[in-house]
Amino acid sequence: MNPNLRGPIDLDTLASTVRERRDRGERAILSNGCFDLLHVGHVRSLEDARGRADYLIVCINDDASVRRHKGDDRPIYPEHERAELLLALSAVDYVHIFADDTVDPILERLRPEYYAKGTDYVPETIPEAPTVRSYGGEIVIVGDPKRHSTRDTLARIQVRPRPSGPGGDDRREG
C-alpha cells in the first residue's frame, strides 16, 4: 500500500526522506506536471517511471502555476485533489506541490538519480536538463507515444451532445 496516502509532502520532509532512502541504497525518480484531469497517458508515464527506480516522486504545479501555464479556466481539480488522485496510484510514492515555473529548485535540493518526462519531450527540450546534468542525474523519457491530453479530453466533453428525453438536460453525472 502507498505509504503516503494522507496527502502531499512538504519539501523539507521530502528532502529528509530522500536522504534516508539514498543512505539505504535506494534510487529516486522524479517527474512533474499539472496532472489536471488524470488520463491513461499520465498513468502509463508514471508506471514506466516507477519501473526505473526504487521510488517515484511526483511534483505537481500548484493552482496558480497551472493558471499561468494553462489559462484562467484551469485547473479543473484543485491541487490537493490532484495530489490525492496521484497518491491513489500504486506507482506513486510521494507527491509534492510546487509553485515555481520549473522544478529546478526541487531537483537541486533532492538530486534524484533520474528525472522523467513524457514522450512529448526530448532531452534537448527539457528546461530542467542543465540542472539534472549539473549534479550527475539522468534524464529518462517515459510512457507511450503522446496520444492523450487533458486539452483533447476537455474538447471532446464540450462537444458531446446533451441527453434528451425524460430528464433531458436536468440529468447530472456523478
Predicted confidence at residue 158, as pLDDT, reads: 63
Q: Are 173 and 167 in contact (CB under 8 A)?
A: no
pLDDT for 8-18, tens place per residue? 999 999 999 99
**Would you state the pLDDT for residue 140?**
97
| Burial letters 13-30, b for 16+ CB under 10 A, else e | ebbebbeeebeeeeebbb
Question: Domains, the chain, ranges and CATH?
Answer: 11-159 (3.40.50.620)
Residue 81 has pLDDT above 70, yes or no: yes
Structure-model confidence comparison of residues 136 and 148, the more confident one:
136
Average pLDDT over every residue of 34-44:
90
Q: Is the pLDDT assigned to residue 1 strictly greater than 50?
A: no
**Percent share of the chain, pLDDT over 90:** 66
Taken as a whole, the chain contains a residue count of 174
Give dist(CA 142, CA 8) in Å, integer.
23
pLDDT digits (tens, 9 = 90+) for 88-142: 999 999 999 999 989 999 999 999 999 999 998 999 999 999 999 999 999 999 9
Taking Cα atoms as reference points, which of 31, 36, 30, 32 lies closest to residue 79? 36
130-158 mean pLDDT: 78
pLDDT of amino acid 2: 46
Report pTM: 0.83
Residue 5 pLDDT > 80, yes or no?
Answer: no
